[in-house]
């Protein structure tokens, strides 16, 4: 559980006023000591590095790296929830891949995703997104909006209409700065594992693929490029034990899906200089 918490929770992102938190302070937030905290981070870093090496060996991704969709000096930003906030998320893997294989591009990747975030909470973070001044913004939100209480037909945390309103407002408020905005659909879930996971069962909460697909169906109404996470290559064990969070192998597949999709989707503006 400690590794899982450290993997998905990064307090400095949700505590904007708390700058340069020490390892001791962060370890205390996870109810552990600094040595154990650093060991957990090192293990996650090693796993991410090994995954990046596998991605770099793939021929189709070598082609993407050679003909990068990103221009030199650009800033690439992500907003989202735990699937993106994950220290080994698709976005972190892409960032590490370009750092390792294309350092000449001098790209800046900034992950503003916060685990547990709804679109309503993300909308409140518009100032952070605007400060990041990304040439690209990848947005994967809505999964937590579709959290339900009391079963698959129970009360939804955020209504579909409100989700769409929030996503449109988020994009319009940030894209006015000229960024390439790319939507990612919420990822699929394993409803059986979710139902079996004792913490979710005790809390009476659940997620469904019908809701995830429902949000994906709304995205075309907002306009702009969309990457369908349901289309990522299948993996043997796609979920952690909770059935909600993608496994590392699923994140690897998602990173590949994002990169290969960028070369084929239309509607992207070729920004040749960073707006920083």
CA–CA dist 217, 126 (Å, integer): 24
pLDDT value of position 276: 41
Any domain includes 275: no
Distance set, CA 200 to CA 82, 136, 180, 207, 232 (Å) = 16, 35, 36, 10, 26
Q: CB–CB of 54/89 below 8 Å? A: no
Residue range(s) defining the domain that contains residue 72? 2-262
DSSP three-state, residue 181: strand
Burial class (CB within 10 angstroms; exposed 0-12, middle 13-18, buried 19+) of 192: exposed
Which is more confident, 28 or 63? 63
What are the pLDDT digits (tens) for 53-78?
A: 999 999 999 999 999 999 999 999 99
What are the pLDDT digits (tens) for 163-190?
A: 999 999 999 998 766 789 999 999 999 9
CATH number of the domain at 125, please. Answer: 3.40.50.1110
pLDDT value of position 135: 94
Q: CB–CB of 162/120 below 8 Å? A: yes
The torsion angles phi and psi of 191, rounded to 5 degrees, stand at -65, -30
Which is more confident, 160 or 271? 160
pLDDT value of position 18: 63
Any domain includes 181: yes
Any domain includes 267: no
Any domain includes 272: no
Any domain includes 17: yes
Is the pLDDT reported for residue 134 higher than 50?
Answer: yes
Is the pLDDT reported for residue 275 higher than 60?
Answer: no
CA–CA dist 263, 266 (Å, integer): 9
What are the pLDDT digits (tens) for 93-120?
A: 999 999 999 999 999 999 999 999 999 9
CA–CA dist 95, 255 (Å, integer): 10
pLDDT band at residue 268 using 50, 70 and 90 as cut-offs: low
pLDDT value of position 270: 53
Of 136, 69, 138, 144, nearest to 102 by C-alpha is 69
Verdict on whether the full-model pTM lies above 0.85: yes
Number of domains in the chain: 1
């Amino acid at each position: 559980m400690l590794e899982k918490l450290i993997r998905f929770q990064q307090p400095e992102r949700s505590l904007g006023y708390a700058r340069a938190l020490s390892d001791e302070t962060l370890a205390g937030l996870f109810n552990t000591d600094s040595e154990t905290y650093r060991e957990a981070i090192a293990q996650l870093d090693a796993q991410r590095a090994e995954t990046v090496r596998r991605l770099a060996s793939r021929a189709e991704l070598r082609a993407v790296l050679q003909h990068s969709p990103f221009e030199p000096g650009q800033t690439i930003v992500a907003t989202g929830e735990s699937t993106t906030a994950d220290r080994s998320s698709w976005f972190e893997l892409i960032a590490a891949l370009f750092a390792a294989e294309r350092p000449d591009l001098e790209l800046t990747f900034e992950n503003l995703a916060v685990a547990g975030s709804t679109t309503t909470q993300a909308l409140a973070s518009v100032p952070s997104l605007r400060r990041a001044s990304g040439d690209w913004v990848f947005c994967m939100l809505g999964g937590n909006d579709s959290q339900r209480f009391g079963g698959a037909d129970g009360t939804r945390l955020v209504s579909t209409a409100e989700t769409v309103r929030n996503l449109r407002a988020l994009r319009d408020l940030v894209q006015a700065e000229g960024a390439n905005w790319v939507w990612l659909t919420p990822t699929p879930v394993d409803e059986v594992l979710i139902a079996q996971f004792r913490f979710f069962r005790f809390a009476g909460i659940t997620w469904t693929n019908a809701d995830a697909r429902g949000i994906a169906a709304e995205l075309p109404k907002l306009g702009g490029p969309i990457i369908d996470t349901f289309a990522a290559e299948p993996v043997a064990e796609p979920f952690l034990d909770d059935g909600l969070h993608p496994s590392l192998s699923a994140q690897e597949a998602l990173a590949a899906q994002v990169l290969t999709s960028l070369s084929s989707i239309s509607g992207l503006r070729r920004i040749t200089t960073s707006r920083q």
